[in-house]
Amino acid sequence: MKDHCSHNQFRCNNGYCINATLRCDSFNDCGDNSDEEGCVASPCMFGDCSQICVEKKGGNFSCQCAPGFTMLGGWSKNKSCTAVGKPAHLMVAGDAELRVLNPYKAGENSPNQLLNKQPTPPGYKVESIDMLWDLREPVVFWSDRQNKRIQRSRLSEFDTTAARRRTQREDSMRTVVSARSIQDSNPDFCRVWRTPEDWRLDWVGKRLYWVDAGMDVVMVATLDGQMKSTLVADHLDQPHDIVVDPQSRLMFWSDWGLNPRIEVASMDGSNRRPLVDTMVPWPTGLAVDYPAQRLYWTDPKSHTIESVDLNGRDRIIVKRFPAGESSYS
């Protein structure tokens, strides 16, 4: 507790000082809720619209959909949006395989299996996946923890034969980033480079972003693995997750170190600042809701799923898990 707070801080009734930007962010940052007293509530509340909420006069609001989406009818009329186009596919990563599933019918697996289990080296230990869509043929990227690399492969059409898919997959599989390529570009990193702890694609700028907890860095490269660059290397303790938002030109990452937090910076590494740095002991599973412009994460220590807008305001506990039930992503 302090008698006085700095000019950029808000003094809580209990004597604690918090960042002034946390005032009226719909979250009890002080612990006694004094930072939320006397605030004027917006007519747009979390969950009112699935994507975009537009404030109207008289305390009213209306819901809108982002480009490429349309409003649903039925009980959610004028509130929920659905994507325009063909039905979606769900890609799931296992320890040694990637599978494409039908998200609309439980238990139905697509025959388009991207990786087969290999009992002998080199094998696979798939950690995370991402997809780059284009008008010709989508490309799937995945990190392989066992072999310390990120690979890519074209994703064949879902109605082609198994033999054709296998041939296309083998012909198109490429290693994008590996321990050897990192060593070649910077010999000082070769002793500590593990594998990307987490990584994401910038589908607009055609770049690959990743964090590495061994090197304690945020890095970027072109999609062929060339032109590697370190964006953030200072004051990182244990970076764990990363997401990017090409529309706002922002990247977000979590740090599990002594001062756990979620940080944000421009996608070139500039304008770095903390986004969430209070009551966030173990942030993981970062995800961006692009139309709604919100960041989500799960926290296994606090047993919650939480969300803020991309400015770090309007913090909401989406779900609190009961004791004994895991919230790990």
Rounded to two decimals, what is the model's pTM? 0.76
- Break the chain into its structural domains and give their ranges: 1-40, 51-85, 87-195, 197-221+231-328
Q: What gap in Å lies between CA 212 and CA 231, rounded to an integer? A: 12
Whether 129 and 98 have beta carbons less than 8 Å apart is answered as yes
Residue 182 CA from chain centroid, whole number: 24
The token pair at 100 is 């494409």
Q: What phi, psi does 212 have (nearest 5°)?
A: -135, 120
Domains 1-40 and 197-221+231-328 share a fold: no
Q: What gap in Å lies between CA 142 and CA 152, rounded to an integer? A: 6
Whether 302 and 322 have beta carbons less than 8 Å apart is answered as no
Q: Is 255 helix (H, G, I), strand (E, B) or coil?
A: strand
**CATH code for 1-40?**
4.10.400.10
Residue 286 DSSP code = E
The token pair at 304 is 């919650």
Q: What gap in Å lies between CA 314 and CA 311, rounded to an integer? A: 9
Sheet containing strand 261-266, edge to edge, reads: 239-245, 250-255, 261-266, 273-276
pLDDT score of 57: 80
Q: What gap in Å lies between CA 218 and CA 229, rounded to an integer? A: 9
The token pair at 176 is 């994008």
Place of tokens 């939320």: 36
| pLDDT values of the chain reduced to their tens digit, one per residue, 329 residues | 556 888 888 999 988 898 887 888 778 888 888 888 888 777 888 888 888 888 888 778 888 898 889 888 755 566 788 888 887 778 877 777 777 777 777 766 554 455 554 444 456 678 788 888 876 778 888 888 777 888 888 876 544 445 444 544 455 677 877 765 555 555 444 444 555 678 899 999 999 999 988 888 999 999 888 888 999 999 998 999 999 999 999 999 999 999 999 999 999 999 999 999 989 999 999 999 999 999 999 999 999 999 999 999 889 999 998 877 766 65
CATH code matching the domain that covers 197-221+231-328, chosen among 3.40.50.10380, 3.40.50.300, 3.40.50.2300, 2.120.10.30 = 2.120.10.30
Q: What gap in Å lies between CA 281 and CA 257, rounded to an integer? A: 9
Q: What gap in Å lies between CA 173 and CA 145, rounded to an integer? A: 17
Burial 119-139 (b: 16+ CB within 10 A, else e): eeeeebebbbebebeeeeeeb
* Sequential DSSP letters for 260-281: -EEEEEETTS-S-EEEE-SS-S
